[in-house]
Amino acid sequence: MEVERSFNEFVAENFASVSKSIRKESRSVRNRIQSIFCDAAFVKEVELSYQLPLVANERCGRWYIDPRDITESVYFKSTDGHNGQWGFSFRRLNTHLLDTIARNGGVIIVDSTRRGKRMPDALSKTIPIWCAVLNKALLGFGMFYTPPNAVSASECSQIEELLPQWVSQFKSMDLNLNALRIRLNNKPLRPIWVTPDSYLPENPPTFEEFLPIVLCTASRMVQDGTEFRQGFCYVQGAADDHEEWAKLLTPDILWNNRHKLKQMHYSDQELHELISQMQVYSIANDVMIQKADWTRIEPTNLWIGKTGNAGNIPFEIIIDLSEHAAEEGGKNIIVQRLHAGKKGSKDLRASLPKILSQYEILHSPDKQVLITCDSGSDFSVGVALVLFCLYYTREGECRPIKTAQYMDKDTIRQRLAFIVTQRKVNPSRATLNSANAYLMS
């Protein structure tokens, strides 16, 4: 009995020691960087095999592609594909991708996932749902495809039952469906899955009957999420949660300094010091070359942009929501500082009455209005949505005074569709909840 207990204790201690070692290796910035470049080499192989443009699924996918090779980016969330939580996101329509697909006859969308999975739910379910909904809504036909090695027949069947309601909701959004339909050229979108275990064609294939959406999982699935290789420990999905292993590192810093960061002789401490120096230089350089980033939400007078060094701004009203905005704006500038993340999204709800009261004083139907935030895709979208609902007709004509009519969820969703189809944005759920709560109160 004593021998058995000692053996069990020995096994437990060794298991704990091995687990600790694996966790340490997986958090190593050196191992993570080497793993990312290893996966990026595979992504490049996929691009050469299919001869289609690379599209980064934000935020993870951007790490695995040289910025010079990124044609477009999209926002497809794995949470919309989680088992039992399937959904078609009406705040992330990603219809801007249709232009790239139409020009090139297809695309390669890059993403990754951590240990325990062959591919992320965004690639195995979220994007296939998107393809099926657009095919049915725009063309009236098209199958729902999922990878059999990642999605069971039962789960696939359950998702298929939900497709009609998503198609109906998509059609009700007052989008220019004919303009979207033309981009498809009467060909359905069809997902094709590629992982590091896949066979890659020797010659670029041709697709006559459909538009290929090649869904590329950059990372190889390995046991326990790590695998020892020559000179480093490979980490599956190394770019995930980069804040935990190198919070100052960004995809741009990584790729702009790839020749230095790829060198194997650096220790973790040396890499952290290098990254810190690179980040300071990157910020200074960004400030010097920053360009205006504004998009008009046609046919309105509302513009959405990213707060920055915009120079002479040709707008009669500016609403600046940056966390770092100057405390006092000019006579035509409304300043409301919002912290990044969920806190700022929640604070937006309490700030909207103040923003709207100041806007009411400045408002005129012929004035051009710019709404900015630090990302250019979150808080600014929430405020633009509120202004669009209150001061514009369904057709986009500006009213002299705001409407007093009650806003329902369908109306708000339709107005949001105008925005997300004209600018590549990713408003958080919390931001949209704040806007909805204000409009429906």
For the cut 80, the answer to whether the pLDDT of residue 291 exceeds it is no
Q: What is the pLDDT of residue 9?
A: 58
What is the rounded CA–CA span in Å between residue 204 and residue 191?
Answer: 16
| Confidence band, pLDDT 50/70/90 cuts, at residue 286 | low
DSSP characters over 319-349? EE--TT--SS--TTEEE----SSHHHHHHHH
Q: Is the pLDDT of residue 181 over 70?
A: yes
Express each pLDDT in 333-381 by its tens digit.
Answer: 999 999 988 899 999 999 999 999 999 999 999 999 999 999 999 999 9
Distance of alpha carbon 414 from alpha carbon 13, whole angstroms: 58
DSSP bridge pairs for 107:
213
The residue among 25 and 399 whose pLDDT is bigger is 399
Q: Which helix (H) or strand (E) holds 306?
A: strand 302-306
For residue 146, count other CB atoms closer than 10 A to its CB: 21
pLDDT digits (tens, 9 = 90+) for 115-156: 778 999 999 999 999 999 999 999 999 999 999 999 999 999
Pairwise CA distance, residues 245 & 242, whole Å: 5
* Predicted pLDDT at 353: 96
Cα angle vertex 254, ends 248, 255, to 5°?
150
Mean pLDDT of the chain: 89
Structural contact between residues 336 and 354, judged by C-beta atoms closer than 8 angstroms? yes
What percent of the chain lies above the pLDDT cut of 70? 90
Residue 284's pLDDT is 63
Asked whether the beta carbons of 373 and 322 are under 8 A apart, the reply is: yes
Q: Which residues have C-beta within 8 Å of that of residue 318, sequence separation ≥ 6?
A: 329, 332, 333, 334, 369, 370, 371, 372
The torsion defined by the Cα of 230, 235, 237 and 239, in degrees rounded to 10, comes to -90
> What is the strand order of the sheet 369-373 is part of?
294-296, 302-306, 369-373, 317-320, 333-335
Tell me, what's the pLDDT at 17? 44
CA distance 49 to 202: 6
Q: Is the pLDDT of residue 25 over 70?
A: no
Question: What is the model's pLDDT at position 223?
Answer: 83
Q: Are the C-beta atoms of residues 296 and 384 closer than 8 Å to each other?
A: no
Average pLDDT over residues 431-435: 96
Q: Is 340 left (phi over 0), alpha (psi -120 to 50) or beta?
A: beta
Q: DSSP readout, 383-397? A: HHHHHHHHHB-TTSP
Residue 13: is its pLDDT beyond 70? no
Please tell me which residue, 246 or 191, carries the higher pLDDT value: 191
Q: Which domains does the chain have, with CATH numbers?
A: 20-246 (no CATH), 294-440 (3.90.190.10)
Within a 13 Å sphere around the CA of 429, how many CA atoms are in the beta-carbon half? Answer: 4
The span from the first CA to the last CA of the chain, in angstroms, equals: 69
pTM score of the predicted model: 0.85
Compute how many other C-beta atoms are within 10 angstroms of the C-beta atom of residue 118. 18
What mean pLDDT do residues 13-42 have?
74
Output the pLDDT for position 283: 67
State the helix-helix crossing angle for 153-171 and 127-134, rounded to 10 degrees.
50
Task: State the Cα–Cα distance between residues 32 and 26, nearest whole angstrom.
Answer: 7
